[in-house]
């Protein structure tokens, strides 16, 4: 019979700490008050709300060119990429871009991509996203989209369109576009249309003529093969939303790289290391001092069962056969977390779990009645919070999205209605900023946020203390 480690049992018996929860409750209360207070606004046509992507820089140099800017400048992890912004990596740079629904696009070296457009639907889900890829390689995993939503990657002469799948796009120097589909169905549009199924690829020439589908061909220049294997392996038997990925610089024989992962304790933490060739070793150092080693050929799976709470150090060592140029390691780490209310702060690791009832019961606002808050479904990144109620006799409804970026939280107002009249999202954000006396896009919960996701309608926030 499985028995939880005493450290986890003891943690669950500790008194709950309110400091981490208080700020979220205040923000939700502000949204409630603002929604009720804006009833005097005239009806305004509700424009589509832009969605931004959050940048993670694995290896420099990655640069950003904001919409309207003439040049690129160096970018850091946590930067927001808004519609119209472009991102590029240099000959060593590696990065990823995550949209609020958890759809992730990974950039290889020498790649340039632009977020052409991205919008929220009125319910807070992603309605559409379109990337323009100028050059280089990307690997995109699209979360299953709601009915009517679209996700596209466009090249010079063709467009790849999906609704929930994993695919790679390579744009050559001549403008040709090769698409590899690893899962699901993809529609490839150019001068002719081709439908790809799992395990197929096709190429559009610079004029948009698309070849017939063929099986995915081996490509020694493709960096994403080891990444796919590692990411798929770490996702097995772990909680969606807990995965964090790390890409290191090319590793040589005898060299070592170090990464960290915060975990508030539980039945399983798993690290999986993927790399192109040679031999590497992955070592997990648990907070209690226990060390777990695994080595061999890629991918290396290293699980820690009954994992204690705290900050984990993960070491990647080059063993042999990595060549003069080295091999690039891809480390994926994930864990098992119960989708329940939680308030844990142990050995430097922080874990918060909020149900709608937790938040709803804590909101105390004079004049407020009939409050109902809902955390919508599951998402590997972000949380959709909807609310209805009555404020001083005035009925209202509203939706916000919470996401993390750069170790902090951001509130995105999708919109509200009062007496059925639309309240512009910009007005809500201005009111939130004035009432909270801080920028709603930079909310510090008192610790560094590593992951924010929704699990069976529970808002989950994992992080660590500096």
Please report, to the nearest 10 degrees, the dihedral formed by the alpha carbons of residues 32, 442, 138, 282 taken in order.
-110
Domains identified in the chain, total number: 3
Q: Look-up: residue for tokens 């969606």?
A: 240
Is 220 part of a structural domain of the chain? no
Q: Do residue 70 and residue 196 come from a single domain?
A: yes
Mean local confidence (pLDDT), 153-176: 96
Q: Which domain holds residue 302?
A: 244-336
pLDDT per position as a tens digit, 219-234: 988 999 999 999 999 9
146 pLDDT more than 50: yes
Q: Do residue 70 and residue 195 come from a single domain?
A: yes
Q: Look-up: residue for tokens 């939280």?
A: 409
The predicted structure's pLDDT at residue 44: 44
The predicted structure's pLDDT at residue 229: 95
Q: Do residue 71 and residue 163 come from a single domain?
A: yes
Is 457 part of a structural domain of the chain? yes
236: Cβ contacts below 8 Å, ≥ 6 apart: none
The SS3 of residue 355 is coil
Is 1 part of a structural domain of the chain? no
Q: Do residue 383 and residue 456 come from a single domain?
A: yes
Peptide bond into 114 cis (omega under 30): no
8 pLDDT more than 50: no
Q: Do residue 79 and residue 152 come from a single domain?
A: yes
> What confidence category does residue 12 fall into, taking pLDDT thresholds of 50, 70 and 90?
very low
Give which of 294, 281, 293 is closest to 322, Cα–Cα: 281
Is 458 part of a structural domain of the chain? yes
Q: Do residue 204 and residue 286 come from a single domain?
A: no
Is 224 part of a structural domain of the chain? no
Last residue of a domain, one of 336, 367, 391: 336
134 pLDDT more than 70: yes
16 pLDDT more than 70: no
Distance CA 127, CA 151 (A): 9
Cβ of 205: how many Cβ atoms within 10 Å? 18
Q: Do residue 64 and residue 42 come from a single domain?
A: no
pLDDT per position as a tens digit, 167-191: 999 999 999 999 999 999 999 999 9
415 pLDDT more than 50: yes
- Kindly report which listed range (100-109, 195-204, 355-364) carries the lowest average pLDDT score: 355-364
> What confidence category does residue 32 fall into, taking pLDDT thresholds of 50, 70 and 90?
low
The predicted structure's pLDDT at residue 295: 95
Instruction: Report the chain's mean pLDDT, rounded to a whole number.
Output: 88
pLDDT higher for 337 or 11? Answer: 337
Q: Do residue 204 and residue 90 come from a single domain?
A: yes
Q: Do residue 323 and residue 376 come from a single domain?
A: no
429 pLDDT more than 70: no
Mean local confidence (pLDDT), 21-33: 53
pLDDT per position as a tens digit, 282-293: 999 999 999 999
29 pLDDT more than 80: no
Is 135 part of a structural domain of the chain? yes
3-state helix, strand, coil in the chain (%, to 5): 10, 50, 40
Maximum C-alpha span of the chain: 73
The predicted structure's pLDDT at residue 392: 76
Last residue of a domain, one of 336, 370, 391: 336
- Kindly report which listed range (83-92, 199-208, 272-281, 360-369) carries the lowest average pLDDT score: 360-369
Q: Residue 247 has which token pair?
A: 């890409």
Q: Is 370 exposed, middle or buried (0-12, 13-18, 19+ CB in 10 A)?
A: exposed
pLDDT per position as a tens digit, 321-354: 999 999 999 999 999 999 999 999 999 999 999 9
Angle at 96 between CA 91 and CA 98, to 5 degrees: 160
23 pLDDT more than 60: no
CATH number, domain at 312? 2.60.120.380
Q: Do residue 195 and residue 70 come from a single domain?
A: yes
Q: Look-up: residue for tokens 């480390």?
A: 331
The predicted structure's pLDDT at residue 431: 64
Q: Do residue 255 and residue 311 come from a single domain?
A: yes
The predicted structure's pLDDT at residue 84: 98
> What confidence category does residue 150 fall into, taking pLDDT thresholds of 50, 70 and 90?
very high
Angle at 196 between CA 84 and CA 165, to 5 degrees: 55
Residue 435 belongs to what H/E stretch?
Answer: helix 425-436
CATH number, domain at 155? 2.60.120.1440
The predicted structure's pLDDT at residue 158: 97
- Kindly report which listed range (81-90, 217-226, 311-320, 425-434) carries the lowest average pLDDT score: 425-434
Q: Residue 60 has which token pair?
A: 């420099």
Is 222 part of a structural domain of the chain? no
Mean local confidence (pLDDT), 88-114: 97
- Kindly report which listed range (69-78, 126-135, 381-390) carries the lowest average pLDDT score: 381-390
Cβ of 163: how many Cβ atoms within 10 Å? 18
Q: Do residue 98 and residue 202 come from a single domain?
A: yes
Is 230 part of a structural domain of the chain? no
Please give the backbone phi and psi of residue 435, each rounded to the nearest 5 degrees, phi first. -70, -40
């Amino acid at each position: 019979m499985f028995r939880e480690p005493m450290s986890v049992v003891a943690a669950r018996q500790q008194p709950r700490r309110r400091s981490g929860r208080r700020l979220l409750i205040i923000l939700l209360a502000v949204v409630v008050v603002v929604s009720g207070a804006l009833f005097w606004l005239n009806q305004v046509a509700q424009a589509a709300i832009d969605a931004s992507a959050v940048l993670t820089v694995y290896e420099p140099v990655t640069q950003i060119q904001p919409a309207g800017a003439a040049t690129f400048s160096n970018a850091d992890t946590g930067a927001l990429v808004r519609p119209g912004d472009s991102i590029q990596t240099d000959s060593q740079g590696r990065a990823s871009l995550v949209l609020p629904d958890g759809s992730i696009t990974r950039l290889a070296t020498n790649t340039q991509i632009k977020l052409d457009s991205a919008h929220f639907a009125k319910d807070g889900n992603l309605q559409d996203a379109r990337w323009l890829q100028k050059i280089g390689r990307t690997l995109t995993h699209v979360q299953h989209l709601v009915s009517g939503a679209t996700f596209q990657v466009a090249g010079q002469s063709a467009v790849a369109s999906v609704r929930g799948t994993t695919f790679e796009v390579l744009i050559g120097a001549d403008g040709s576009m090769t698409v590899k589909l690893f899962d699901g169905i993809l529609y490839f549009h150019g001068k002719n249309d081709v439908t790809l199924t799992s395990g197929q690829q096709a190429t559009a020439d610079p004029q948009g003529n698309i070849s017939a589908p063929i099986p995915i061909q081996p490509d020694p220049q493709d960096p994403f093969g080891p990444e796919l294997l590692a990411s798929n392996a770490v996702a097995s038997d772990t909680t969606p939303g807990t995965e964090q990925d790390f890409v290191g610089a090319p590793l040589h024989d005898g060299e070592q790289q170090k990464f960290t992962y915060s975990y508030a304790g539980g039945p399983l933490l798993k690290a999986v290391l993927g790399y192109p060739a040679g031999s590497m070793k992955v070592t997990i150092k648990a907070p209690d001092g226990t060390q777990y080693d695994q080595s061999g050929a890629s991918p290396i799976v290293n699980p820690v069962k009954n994992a204690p709470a705290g900050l984990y150090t993960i070491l990647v060592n080059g063993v042999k056969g990595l060549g003069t140029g080295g091999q690039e390691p891809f480390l994926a780490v994930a864990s098992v977390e119960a989708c329940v209310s939680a308030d844990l702060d142990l050995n430097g690791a922080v874990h918060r779990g909020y149900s709608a009832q937790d938040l709803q019961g804590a909101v105390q606002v004079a004049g407020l009645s009939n409050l109902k808050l809902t955390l919508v479904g599951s998402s590997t990144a972000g949380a959709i919070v909807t609310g209805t109620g009555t404020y001083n006799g005035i009925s209202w409804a509203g939706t916000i999205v919470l996401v993390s970026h750069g170790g902090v939280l951001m509130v995105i107002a999708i919109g509200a209605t009062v007496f059925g009249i639309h309240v512009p999202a910009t007005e809500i954000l201005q009111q939130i900023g004035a009432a909270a006396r801080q920028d709603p896009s930079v909310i510090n919960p008192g610790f560094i946020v590593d992951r924010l996701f929704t699990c069976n309608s529970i808002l989950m926030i994992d992080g660590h203390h500096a």
